[in-house]
Amino acid sequence: MKFELTNDFRERFSQAVDERDEAFIIASLEGEKPADISALLHEFETEDSKYVIDLLPSEVRADIINDLDEDIRSRFLRVFEPTEITEIVNHLDSDDAVDILNELPIKEREEVIACIDNQEKEANILDLLRYDEDVAGGLMAKELIKANLNWSVVRCIEEIRRQAENVQKLYSVYVVDDNDKLLGRVSLKKIILAEDNMHIADIYDPGVTSVETYMSEEEVAQVMRKYDLEAVPVVNMQGKLLGRITIDDVVDVITELADEERQMMSGISEDVEEADSIWMLTRARLPWLIVGVMGGFISARLIGVFEEELTRITAIAFFIPLIQATGGNVGIQSSSIVLQSLANPSAFNDSMQKRLFKVFVIAALNGAVLATLVYGGNLLTGGAVNLALVVSTALFCVVLIASLIGTITPLILHKFGFNPALASGPFITTTNDLMGLAIYFYTVHLLL
């Protein structure tokens, strides 16, 4: 039976799980991709999901566990015995195995490691456990193909066949000297086309891009994106080849970073998902909501300072939403562009003075256009000329200030080591609301 996530199939599969219909479950899932099976099992309780997984081949079982989200997997692994987790670990690359082990309690982690029969895999895992998860050493896998500079092409091919048993994805062969110092790389195409009497030294490319174990995951992602790499070797401070990072791991990093920045820009202070508890979701949302309420309270008090002007000219209150909305939008646009430039520093080589001058010119043009539209709209709808002039002048100033704040704030945060995504969303909106009101009422006070 073809595996399809239709409602009819879900109902039939759920019935099969309830009835423990092994024949139907195995036939339904045979030959299907682990990611599709994981999507189906998300809908079942942990015990039922484990029952289904236990019916599948060990390789598929390991891929399914590896494909689960970290939060779900850590809860799911609680129903597994250490020996069962060891079987899963034995079918994964060292980096994926370490990710799973890091989610276990220390006692259970030690039990799993003690059950690993393959001494090489055990050594690789113990080596990777030394590194933090968010640096190159924690991202790398120990499994790779390497060849000595002095080997013949024939011996290199023999070694590739031997080493490739433990490597799932083979992109190229890394070339090292007698001390395992990385010298370069050689493509499989060159190895295949080379004459039998040639040596690796004759065909390898010394221009290899590598990363050090201490580099952050953001820096690794930038390197692989900049040079369009499918895999990048990892070396220590002495240049010794230790492992490699493949593109699938970097895609996960980029996705996590994008999710983190999107949540920060939305005013969510923690990494949460819809399936998390009510308390976690509330705790993640509340801090910036409180900031927004405090900003609104200050805005209200600021308006109260100009109560006399509001009493004499009530029409000026009509344009408060216009000033606040425009300032917030301009600030978010400016900060978003700066965030893009910080994510790709090589895209902008201008000095800070040139960038700020460019921001000022753009803001002046946008402000002039918007102020003209508001001035004309006021006159067309029968508004007073002096009021239209005041609103347009204030709007022009708000656009300039909001653009400047939206540009400078993320740069300052980045300079002091904070995530610049904090400069977007509620922070910029609240700040520009206050600045916009202050500028608007001060302009009213001066001109009216």
pLDDT, tens digit, for every residue of 139-149?
999 989 999 99
Q: What is the CATH code of the structural domain delimited by 278-447?
A: 1.10.357.20
Structural fold of domain 146-256: CBS-domain (3.10.580)
Residue 448: pLDDT band with limits 50, 70, 90: low
pLDDT, tens digit, for every residue of 76-85?
888 889 899 9
Q: What pTM did the predictor assign?
A: 0.68
What is the model's pLDDT at position 161?
Answer: 86
| Beta pairing class for 182-186 and 211-212 | unpaired
pLDDT, tens digit, for every residue of 168-217?
778 789 999 999 999 999 998 899 899 888 999 999 999 889 999 999 99
Residue 271: pLDDT band with limits 50, 70, 90: low
Mean pLDDT of the 316-339 span: 84
Q: List the beta strands (DSSP E) in 236-372.
A: 241-246
Which CATH class, in words, describes the domain spanning 7-131?
mainly alpha
What is d(CA 173, CA 187) in angstroms, rounded to the nearest whole number?
A: 6
Mean pLDDT of the chain: 84
pLDDT, tens digit, for every residue of 9-52?
888 888 888 888 889 888 888 888 888 888 888 778 888 888 88
What is the model's pLDDT at position 266?
Answer: 63
Residue 153 has pLDDT above 60, yes or no: yes
Closest CA to 43 of 80, 19, 79, 72: 72
What is the model's pLDDT at position 151?
Answer: 93
Residue 381: pLDDT band with limits 50, 70, 90: confident
What is d(CA 64, CA 72) in angstroms, rounded to the nearest whole number?
A: 12
% of the chain residues with pLDDT over 90:
27
* CATH 1.10.357.20 domain extents, the chain: 278-447
Residue 264 has pLDDT above 70, yes or no: no
Q: Which of 39-48, 324-333, 359-368 has the highest mean pLDDT?
A: 359-368
Provide φ and ψ at 205, rounded to 5°: -105, 115
DSSP helix/strand/coil, 74 = helix
Task: Give the lowest-confidence range in 91-95, 171-175, 416-420.
Answer: 416-420
% of the chain residues with pLDDT over 70:
91
Residue 265: pLDDT band with limits 50, 70, 90: low
**With contact defined as beta carbons under 8 Å apart, do 257 and 218 qualify?**
yes
What is the model's pLDDT at position 14?
Answer: 87
What is the model's pLDDT at position 270?
Answer: 61
Residue 418 has pLDDT above 60, yes or no: yes
Residue 273: pLDDT band with limits 50, 70, 90: low
Residue 423 has pLDDT above 90, yes or no: no
Q: Residue 373 corresponds to which tokens in the numbers above?
A: 């539209």
* CATH 3.10.580.10 domain extents, the chain: 146-256
What is the model's pLDDT at position 336?
Answer: 78
Residue 1: pLDDT band with limits 50, 70, 90: very low
Residue 164: how many other CB atoms lie within 10 Å: 12
* CATH 1.25.60.10 domain extents, the chain: 7-131
What is d(CA 284, CA 281) in angstroms, rounded to the nearest whole number?
A: 5
Please give, one letter per residue, the 3-state secondary structure of 103-167: CCCHHHHHHHHHCCCCHHHHHHHHHHCCCCCCEHHHHCECCCCEEECCCEHHHHHHHHHHHHHHC
Residue 344 has pLDDT above 80, yes or no: no
Mean pLDDT of the 3-10 span: 72
What is the model's pLDDT at position 110?
Answer: 92
Residue 347 has pLDDT above 50, yes or no: no
Residue 424: pLDDT band with limits 50, 70, 90: low
Mean pLDDT of the 363-381 span: 91
DSSP helix/strand/coil, 207 = coil
